[in-house]
Structure formats: C-alpha cells, structure tokens
Amino acid sequence: MSNRPKAPKYTYWRNGTLWARFAIGGREYRESLRTGDVKLGKTRVEAMRNRAVAAAKFGDDRRTWAQVGIAWAGHIAKHVSATTALRYRVSLRQIDSSLKARYIDEISKADVLAIKREREDKGVSNATIRRDLQALSSVLNYAEINDWRVGNPAKLIMGTVNEKRDPIFLPTEADYEYMRARLTKPMVDLMVAARLTGARISELVNMQRGQLNARSGTLRLIGKGNKARTIEVGQELVDLVQGQVAHMECKNVFHFGGKPMKNAPFVFSKATKASRLAAQKKQLDFTGFRFHDLRHWFAVEWLRSGRSIYDLQKHLGHSTIGTTEIYLSFLTVEEAENAKRPAEKALAKSAEVA
C-alpha cells in the first residue's frame, strides 16, 4: 500500500507527480502540476481552476490590469478633480509592478494583502496605504461595473487599515537648503512659496496670476472642496509670483516650461529619496521632509511669533480649531498661551461693548 498522502481535490497521482483534473463550462482540463508536494499542488490547481473559471465567464472580453488601467484613467478624469486623479495615479505607480502581468479578474484578496504587507514592510504610513488601496479599489470597482471581474477585495481590506494622522516632522533649515540646492528652479520656487504661505501643494500648482492682489498684499487660494479663502502675504511672495515667467499655454503661476505642475508631489517625493541617497554617500546629516511638512513648518513659525491660533485657522483654511491646535504641541507653555491670548482679548472686548 502506498505511503503517499491523499491527492488534493481536483488532482490525482501519476508516477509520483500530481496532475489536475476538473471540468469547467463543459470543458475538461487535465494537466501536470509539475510537483509531488501536496501543499504546492493544491495551490496550483486552485490557481488553474480560477483561470479556467475566468476564461469561461469572461471569454474573449477578458481584460488585463494594464488594459483596464487605461480605460479607467479616461473614466476617472471625468468624475474626480485633477488633484484626486493625480493622487490615484501616484498610488497606482507604487503597486503597478505587482499587477501589470495579471488579468483583472485574477486579482484576489491574497494579492491585495500581499501589496498591503509590502507597503507596510517599506515603512509606509497607514494613511498612505489607505490611499493606495482606495486607488486600487477604484480600478477594481470600475472593472466590476463593466463585468470584467467579480468582487472588490481592495475595498474590503481598506477597511482593516486604521487611518492615523501622519506624524509631523518639521523641516530643519539645513534640510531645507539642501533640497533647494538639488531641485530645479520651478520646484524650488514652489517650495519657497509653500514656506512663505503655508498653502497646500494643490493650491499652489493650480494658482493663477489673477489670484494675487499685489497692491493689497492678498492672495486668493482655492482649497479643498473648491472652497476659496483670501490670505495676507508679504512682499517676498509678491516678488516671487511676479518674477515667474508667463507662458501662453499655461495660465498657472508655477509651471514646468508651460506645462502644469500636476505631478509636482511625485517629483518632490522622488527628489527627496534621491537626496537621501546622495547624502548617505557623502555622509551628510540629511533627514528629508515631505512637501506638506512645509505647511506645518509655516504654522509653527506663525504661532511662535506670537500671532493668534484663530487667525492661523482662517489662514490655513481649517474647518475646526481642533485641527489647528495640533501645532500647540510644538510650543512652550508660554508660547501656547500667547497664541491663544489675542482671541481671548477680542472676546473680552466684545463682551464689554455688549
């Protein structure tokens, strides 16, 4: 009697090798699994059956990840803002290598979990992983709507990732100057503008000349949800904006030789990684920072100068003061009290008048 283990479902033994045997859609499949390992054989026959089921269900209309990605890109551009579409594309670039050779209907929960683990192993924050999974979910959802696959495991797994606010690391002057020396002029100007205004990168790359009133020293910004706000700016920012070369093909203040800077977040992130590697080779002390950290840096410097946290809330476009209060943790007790005091005086004065 043979000591061989029992063959997994849909397989049988043949001369010490496991073979697959099953029928899908009236067609019989019989093929060597090229292994005598029961666990590996079970995995291979399951993959073979999944491919056969997909071929039977989707037939000639079966689409690859790449094909769906092209169709999805045209679709999503009509339904979300340019900033959101760009964020999706940046996320999909990070996971494309894991899926580009696959059929869209083959992408399983195990594939999505593997992508999630890979991103975690690289030290990517939960918030970024959620954004990556949201982009993947958008593609899979589009494929399901068009009957190119069944189910959306990315949406399921996205719910298991707790979104935590990314920790705030304020840039140092040394890191700031190191990046200025390594970036192209358009990116340097964008970085300087962020430090001078505390504006989001999306607000800056979409800014047009008409939004600046040089005479009054004010700048109109279009923030999240297309909400507009007007902030006060100094002469340095006015000079920076007026010094930008105008281009007939691009109305935006900041641009890459006439092309919109929609990929500026990706360019800055890539430049930061390259700068870290260069600094390591030269044994320089360079930590690096995210572009959004310039906004945090502006906010903390604002409060340390003694200005009101309530004015800062309006300047940054925060809907609640609680969001702005995260910067108080970077201040001394005295600085925090000073930041809150101007508003308290204003309230007291209003009470006296009443």
Chain segment 50-102, per-residue pLDDT in tens: 778 777 776 666 889 999 999 999 999 888 877 788 889 989 998 888 898 88
User: Mean pLDDT across the stretch 224-237?
Assistant: 93
pLDDT higher than threshold 80 for residue 215: yes
CATH topology of domain 65-158: DNA polymerase; domain 1 (1.10.150)
Whether pLDDT at 1 is above 60: no
- State the pLDDT at residue 154: 93
Whether 350 has a pLDDT exceeding 50, the answer reads: no
What pLDDT is stored for residue 54 in this prediction? 72
Domain chopping of the chain, boundaries? 11-61, 65-158, 173-304
pLDDT at residue 139 in the model: 95
Calculated CA dihedral for residues 247, 86, 170, 125, nearest 10 degrees: -170
Compute the average pLDDT of residues 29-51.
90
Report percent pLDDT > 90 for the chain: 62
Q: What is the pLDDT of residue 225?
A: 79
| Residue 354 confidence (pLDDT) above 70 | no
Residue 179: pLDDT over 70 = yes
Please determine, for residue 313, whether its predicted confidence score (pLDDT) is greater than 90: yes
- Inter-CA distances, 125 with 142, 166, 287, Å: 26, 7, 17
Q: For residue 348, is pLDDT > 60? A: no
Mean pLDDT across the chain: 88
Percent of the chain with pLDDT over 70: 93
Topology of the domain covering 173-304: hpI Integrase; Chain A (1.10.443)
Average pLDDT over residues 179-200: 96
Predicted pLDDT at 307: 94
pLDDT reported for residue 59: 66
Contacts of 90 (CB under 8 A, 6+ apart): 263, 265, 266
pLDDT of residue 121: 83
pTM, rounded to two decimals: 0.61
What pLDDT does 159 receive? 80
Nearest to 193 by CA among 243, 251, 247: 243
| pLDDT for 161 | 79
18-27, 158-167, 253-262: range with lowest mean pLDDT: 158-167
Model pLDDT, residue 103 = 87
Looking at residue 349, what is its pLDDT? 42
pLDDT in tens, 126-147: 888 888 999 999 999 999 998 8
Each residue's pLDDT tens digit, 95-126: 888 898 888 988 888 899 999 999 888 878 78
Read off the pLDDT band of 351 (50, 70, 90). Answer: very low
